[in-house]
Structures are given as structure tokens and as C-alpha cells.
């Protein structure tokens, strides 16, 4: 079963185009990823927001091929949608695109949540999926009255083994 983004409901009439910076870093592994783009911020109610971003193209071939294959393969770029649904209590991040994988993370402060990944074959059909657990150590949202900063600190787990500690920072510029 693949994932899909819902159409923005009519109750989310208020929207704002804003420059955003999204950073993911690990505090104990050499992992760092970041994007700067323009997002559309929707306000659902006083404390709940949705942010839709188009991630700059990612070269999937670099993720799934050996270095020898990468040198001879034609460049493939895949724009991907990032959909963030967030409040001071919960964050859901979904990535969907025409590439080789998609994911959805659900974080709730002080609780275990799910990180689910979908893998796709060359034709774009779902080829498999796997699920990890995450434990949200801290979730911080700053609003003035619109969100300006979101920080999620979490641990990623498979069964009984920790796969690292991570920090997701989102800065929304006004």
C-alpha cells in the first residue's frame, strides 16, 4: 500500500508562502541533511499548522547504486513533496515523490511513535516497506502568532537496538 497526500481541506483557507530551512542532524552519528526552499503554511486552528514544501531535486541514483554505476548512469532527479502537520504536541512528516522511496514519521513528546519507509522499484511500484520506532525526547514549537521555529529531538529504534539520536529543526522565516 502506497502513501498519498490528502487534498488541502477547505477549512484551511489561510495560507502564507514563506522561506523555510529544514535541517536533520544526528547527535551521535555523521548524519546531516538540510534543505532551503519556499513552503506554503496553512493554519488549521490556533495551535495546529500544515506546511507543504517541494524539496529540491534529489539524485536517487546516488543513493541506490555503486560508485561505478553512478559514473555511467544518466542523471535522474526527483522532486519530492514534504508535508509537515504540526502542533505543540505532535509532528507528522511525510515525504512523497516519484523516486525510489517515501517515508512518514510520527512524533509525540515523551512517547514512542512510528517511522515508516516505503521502497519502490524502477517502475515506481511499491516493492516493500519497513517500520522503525522513534522516541521523542523533546518537541518545541515557537509561534508569534504564526510558527517561526520547530525542534524535534528523538531517538530511532529497531527492536531493542538504538539507531542514533536525531534533531529535526525547522525555521520558518517571515
Range scoring the smallest mean pLDDT among 66-70, 109-113, 150-154: 66-70
Q: Could you tell me the CA-to-CA distances from 39 to 22, 58, 66, 122, 125 in Å, in that order?
A: 11, 17, 33, 29, 28
Pick from 71, 73, 133: nearest CA to 100? 73
Domains observed in the chain: 15-172 (2.40.128.20)
Residue with C-alpha cell 514512542?
112
- The torsion angles phi and psi of 47, rounded to 5 degrees, stand at -115, 0
Pick from 95, 94, 73: nearest CA to 85? 94
The percent of residues in the chain predicted with pLDDT above 70, rounded, is 75
The pLDDT score that the predictor gives to residue 8 is: 47
- DSSP β-ladder status, 161-172 and 112-120: unpaired
**Length of the chain as a residue count:** 174
User: Measured between alpha carbons, how far is 101 from 118 in angstroms, rounded to an integer?
Assistant: 5
User: Measured between alpha carbons, how far is 27 from 62 in angstroms, rounded to an integer?
Assistant: 24
Q: Is the pLDDT of residue 58 over 80?
A: no
User: Measured between alpha carbons, how far is 119 from 49 in angstroms, rounded to an integer?
Assistant: 28
pTM for the predicted model, two decimal places: 0.79
More reliable by pLDDT, 14 or 170: 170
- DSSP β-ladder status, 90-97 and 78-86: antiparallel
The pLDDT score that the predictor gives to residue 128 is: 85
List Cβ neighbours of 139 (8 Å cut-off, separation of 6 or more).
Answer: 88, 89, 90, 91, 107, 108, 109, 151, 152, 153
Q: Is the pLDDT of residue 75 over 50?
A: yes
Amino acid at each position: 500500500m502506497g502513501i498519498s497526500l490528502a487534498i488541502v481541506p477547505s477549512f484551511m483557507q489561510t495560507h502564507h508562502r514563506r522561506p523555510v530551512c529544514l535541517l536533520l542532524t544526528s547527535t551521535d552519528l555523521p548524519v546531516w541533511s538540510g534543505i532551503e526552499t519556499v513552503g506554503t503554511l496553512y493554519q488549521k486552528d490556533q495551535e495546529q499548522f500544515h506546511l507543504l514544501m517541494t524539496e529540491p531535486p534529489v539524485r536517487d541514483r546516488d543513493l541506490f547504486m555503486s560508485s561505478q554505476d553512478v559514473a555511467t548512469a544518466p542523471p535522474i532527479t526527483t522532486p519530492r513533496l514534504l508535508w509537515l502537520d504540526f502542533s505543540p504536541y505532535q509532528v507528522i512528516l511525510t515525504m512523497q515523490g516519484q523516486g525510489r522511496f517515501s517515508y512518514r514519521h510520527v512524533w509525540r513528546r515523551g512517547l514512542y511513535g512510528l517511522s515508516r519507509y516505503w521502497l519502490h522499484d524502477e517502475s515506481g511500484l511499491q516493492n516493500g516497506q519497513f517500520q522503525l520506532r522513534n522516541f521523542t525526547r523533546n518537541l518545541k514549537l515557537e509561534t508569534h502568532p504564526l510558527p517561526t521555529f520547530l525542534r524535534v529531538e528523538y531517538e530511532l529504534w529497531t527492536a531493542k537496538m538504538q539507531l542514533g539520536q536525531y534533531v529535526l529543526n525547522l525555521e520558518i522565516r517571515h
